[in-house]
Chains A and B, each alone.
Chain A
């Protein structure tokens, strides 16, 4: 149970009800608390964390995509002055492969990644040895001296190719995922029309400016193993390390520092994180590892690569009767911490905003000899939005019905909410909470002048230009539960400390939590210090992923703050000899609600009166502090639409994004500027996957995009400023503030909208079947005279 009752739907929070007060912080685009140290160069990123006498680790990686690892010769490396140790798998035989976040999954356990490979190497980049040395230069010199005898085996590079043996008794097809409902075969048998398409999403991933880093430190005086440089899910990392290294969780402290971008890839437990911990304990010296860019591009999780063979049964009016999808998920060389999360979620969320009376999705979860894959911002949604929206465009073309009209006919309406669907995402049944999908699209059209835009584009097309408009609709999911808790305490100076188990990966977490706490407490948000990512401060935490931080942690913060508020008012009532319901808190002072002159008292003074030895405290629990717990049964489902306008250079295949428009209903924006930032940043990454970014491989399985010269991130010139329509029309009934998540809305629809716009521009229906849409691919579509 929640410790505070949720307010009625669409209501404002209690403290906000005191209209127009200057300390009502929710909904204001206040400046970020995080920024002063960051803009002054005082941030502490993983690279800034150092311990006396630390060793530097360098990982030796396989140069072959697939092979039998016959022997490793590290003698020359060990002999190099300044080298402390060189490890191969045999040196850490007691360390098991990297566990899944949720623990053992027997069918997938054989596919886990060992911390150091032995016997087999499975991708270029597979760690085979670790060098520990006095400085990073020596470590790299020594790593160059380690030689591996690898007998090459044929690499498997395509998930749609026939599976082969992974290890004795196990196929490279690790699982087949099935989700669906209804008699799909019967519907297809009788359907007036069937539209079928094959679509692929390229392999790309999150590429934060700051590469990964991990510093292991063993404090023998206290018997505590510390891991610094963690992010995203510090408590999960603590739990995983505890299981793998057989150390009690409370003897492992995981610390998050400043983070230069997360995007899903940073913060999982990788081989390097385990290595620095094991080494720090064995050597009794701190061990530091900072990933370099080339490593990042071959070692950190890849994502996205899927091939879908999808068909829709439709009636003569374009109404979808059933969807049948068979897809191949290229997992890469091992199954990492997320297990089958992305491939499973793909099946659950593919239908998106549309009514789909019968549905079947069969996902082939297959290993290949490439970098292991996992989540990247909007996992499963970027992919399925591309697939679904391409399918809808294909339906529109087949029936010669306007593509917007097709969407209107099939979209779930506001009247149908809440809308449960017998499918799962992240282990929960899908249950759309609120929304008006077509209504939002219409608001976007009104904002951007849809009719005028279409008329202009039509005119330019008639004049011979290749210019087109693309549209995508989608439903997001966010706020994965089940529960989160926060402790808030106020010290004798009135400073508020909000201790969360959340994580800040640059998204403005501290600011948002401070705003929520300040709003309920009646203090300045700048007086709130927000703690995150420190497992020694709070024993439980969900971190920051799946767009859940604001939904879950802010709800818990809100509840905790109300509990502290109640305690403060109760104490103040006695001290001020005024009933607590006649009191309010403004700017950190408790005073009379009705504005009549009278005594007041600061929160700091109340905290003083609640100290263990204070007489006034009476039987109250010591401290001006309280916990708040929030629990939810379901995720929330925000939604949006994207519109893209592109023009194409017929001669070169070059694409110019002329305009990009995003509508998103967030329910409730705690800080609209930060939401806007999330959307714009997501959109930029979405453009990367739509037009530029792709991890390509040679036939031998050599990665070809290992620098920023080959892995093309969109930069300023390629990223025109998007127009954002942020709406707060449908709050979520599932949490006290009505919040829905924001982290992934900017990216989800970009691949789909850009593909749709390019296809519209070149005027060849069905031509755009793969992301990214590169100039070379466009030239091939256009044909050559």
Chain B
């Protein structure tokens, strides 16, 4: 439980951070954000980075603001910043609802939104929200910067499109219109654990019918994603248990569930069915 030796860097600016990263990335240099995933991994020696680039001192990354119809979340913003709505309207309320499911209070005080995205645990709430809303991230390296869309960002269990020398500078979530309905539900065995399955549903009503539905599932597959089959089942339907059940069944049929020694694929499907229906039920409530 003692990490292997590493060299510690504490840049003060984004440019400095990416310059150091450019140098140390080839020697397994890594960004240290809240440390809530990286530090335990190092303690177990599952990761032995030779360099840590600590971005906690980079003040510019603490940005949490609205720009171009998007909520912009800098890499220094902690989970706890979402305990109270970070913006007006449904998005702020949704994030405030979801954040309560992330770990425990002390962890939320350190862990960062962008760290969760970079870490890309399949059961991360923030990864789910990025996927569901088709958010995007801004990545920067000494080579330049680029915007990566959610659907291109997540590659698999704890793998993303970020290159080793890239700093995830910020994440951007589109604001939700005031009449958006959204609902989130997750199942875990203990409060604060990573979800065994979770779902997020968002839609609007047009003439009493569901329009522009988004339905994403996390924790069940190797990465969170929108489930087109479920969205088709919702589109144009009257909101209610019949439609939600149909969408949940479609999601359950569409997924390729993760399986391990203690969780069967069959059980994972049971959970996807339950969480999808309930998330949509909450959206309608």
Contact = CB atoms under 8 A, between A and B. Distances in A.
Interface string B248-285: 00000000000001111011001101110110000000
B8 to A, nearest CB: 14
Interface string A102-119: 000000000000000000
Nearest to A291: B1
A715 B187 contact: no
B192 interface: yes
Contact of A692 (B2, B187, B190, B266): B190
A145 B194 CA distance: 33
Given A652-B270, A653-B270, 12 more contacts: A136-B2, A137-B3, A144-B4, A294-B44, A651-B274, A697-B261, A704-B262, A710-B262, A716-B191, A717-B190, A776-B262, A780-B267
Contacts of B143: none
Interface in A132-153: 136-137, 140-141, 144
Contacts of B45: 140, 144
13 contacts: A136-B2, A140-B4, A292-B1, A652-B187, A652-B270, A652-B274, A652-B275, A692-B190, A712-B189, A712-B193, A775-B267, A779-B270, A784-B270
B274 A141 contact: no
Contacts of A780: 267
Interface of A: 136-137, 140-141, 144, 292-294, 649, 651-654, 692, 696-698, 704, 707, 709-710, 712, 714-718, 774-776, 779-780, 784
Contacts of B178: none
Nearest to A782: B270
B67 interface: no
Nearest to B187: A652
Given A696-B262, A704-B261, A651 B190 contact: no
Looking at A136, A137, A652, A698, the one whose CB has the most chain B CB atoms below 10 A away is: A652
A752 B158 CA distance: 40
In the complex, the 7 A-B pairs of residues with the closest C-beta atoms, listed nearest first: A651-B274, A292-B1, A717-B191, A776-B267, A137-B2, A140-B2, A652-B274
B5 A141 contact: yes
B261 A696 contact: yes
B1 A293 contact: yes
Interface in B176-193: 187, 189-193
Nearest to B197: A652
Contacts of B5: 137, 141
B43 to A, nearest CB: 8
Nearest to B266: A784
A784 B273 CA distance: 12
A454 B23 CA distance: 70
Interface of B: 1-5, 44-45, 187, 189-194, 261-264, 266-267, 270-271, 273-275, 277-278
A141 B264 contact: no
A590 B264 CA distance: 73
A712 B190 contact: yes
Identify which of B45, B191, B262, B267 gathers the most chain A CB atoms within 10 Å of its CB. B267
Contacts of A692: 189-190
Contact of B270 (A651, A716, A718): A651
Contacts of A136: 2
Tell me whether chain B's interface is mostly helix, strand or loop, or mixed: loop
B100 to A, nearest CB: 12
A780 B189 CA distance: 16
Contacts of A707: 44
Contacts of B193: 709, 712
B192 A715 contact: yes
A629 B19 CA distance: 75
A140 B45 CA distance: 10
Contacts of A141: 4-5
Most chain A CB atoms below 10 A, which of B189, B275, B277: B189
Given A141-B5, A294-B1, A698-B261, A715 B266 contact: no
A774 B270 CA distance: 14
A779 B261 contact: no
A327 B46 CA distance: 40
A141 B5 CA distance: 9
Contacts of B190: 692, 712, 714-715, 717-718
Contacts of B262: 696, 704, 710, 774, 776
A654 B2 CA distance: 36
A680 to B, nearest CB: 19
Contacts of B264: 776
A651 B273 contact: yes
A775 B270 CA distance: 11
A613 B271 CA distance: 81
A707 B194 CA distance: 14
A653 B271 CA distance: 9
A769 B34 CA distance: 43
A34 to B, nearest CB: 26
Nearest to B1: A292
Nearest to B194: A709
A141 B45 CA distance: 10
A81 B19 CA distance: 33
A292 B5 CA distance: 18
A293 B190 CA distance: 20
A652 B261 CA distance: 18
B259 to A, nearest CB: 11
A784 B275 CA distance: 16
Contacts of A714: 190
A715 B274 CA distance: 24
Nearest to B264: A776
Contact of B271 (A652, A696, A704): A652
B165 to A, nearest CB: 27
A718 B187 contact: no
Nearest to A704: B261
B280 to A, nearest CB: 13
Contacts of B270: 651-653, 779, 784
A445 to B, nearest CB: 31
Contacts of A717: 190-192
A780 B187 CA distance: 17
A115 to B, nearest CB: 22
A768 to B, nearest CB: 17
Contacts of A698: 261
A95 to B, nearest CB: 27
A744 B66 CA distance: 57
Nearest to A691: B189
A292 B194 CA distance: 23
Contacts of A715: 190-192
Nearest to A718: B190
Contacts of A704: 261-262
A714 B191 CA distance: 9
Contact of B263 (A140, A294, A776): A776
Contacts of B278: 651
B216 to A, nearest CB: 19
